[in-house]
C-alpha cells in the first residue's frame, strides 16, 4: 500500500517559471520528509528535506512546504532551469520505525527553454 503518493507522473514548465511538485502521504506518523532528484543513468541524489516541526525549508532556488493537516508537501523550484529536468522523488520516514524511507513513484520534470 503506497503511503507516499506523487499523483503527477510528469510536469512541463518553461524556463524561468516556477515548478511545483506535489506529494501526499497517508501515514500521520511520518515526521521527516526528503526530496531526491534523479537524472537518467545516475542514482538519486538528495535535494532538500523538512522535519514535521517546520512548515517550510528553503535552500537556494528550492523550497519545500509541509502542510501536516492536509498530509501534503510540495517542492517549489524558482526560477526553473533546463538543468532541473529530472525525476523527483518524495520520501518520508517515521521516527521509531527503524530507518525505512518510503518513496513516492516520482514526477518527471521537463524544463523547456
Considering only CA atoms, which of 81, 74, 73, 77 is closest in space to residue 14? 81
Considering only CA atoms, which of 17, 7, 6, 9 is closest in space to residue 82? 17
Closer residue to other proteins (CB): 27 or 79: 27
Alpha-carbon span 51 to 31, nearest angstrom? 6
The three grid cell numbers given for residue 74, joined into one nine-digit string: 510540495
Site string for other proteins, 40-79 (x = CB under 8 A): -xxxxxx--x-x----------------------------
Closer residue to other proteins (CB): 14 or 26: 26
Residues that bind other proteins (CB under 8 A): 6, 9, 31-32, 34, 36, 41-46, 49, 51, 89, 93-95, 98-101, 103-106
Amino acid at each position: 500500500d503506497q503511503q507516499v503518493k506523487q499523483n503527477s507522473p510528469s510536469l512541463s514548465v518553461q524556463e524561468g517559471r516556477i515548478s511545483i511538485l506535489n506529494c501526499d502521504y497517508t501515514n500521520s506518523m511520518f515526521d521527516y520528509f526528503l526530496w531526491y532528484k534523479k537524472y537518467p543513468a545516475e542514482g538519486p541524489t538528495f535535494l532538500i528535506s523538512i522535519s514535521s516541526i517546520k512548515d517550510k525549508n528553503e535552500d537556494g532556488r528550492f523550497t519545500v512546504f509541509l502542510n501536516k493537516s492536509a498530509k501534503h508537501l510540495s517542492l517549489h523550484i524558482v526560477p526553473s532551469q533546463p538543468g532541473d529536468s529530472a525525476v523527483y522523488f518524495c520520501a518520508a520516514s517515521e521516527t521509531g520505525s527503524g530507518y525505512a524511507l518510503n518513496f513516492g513513484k516520482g514526477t518527471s520534470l521537463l524544463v523547456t527553454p
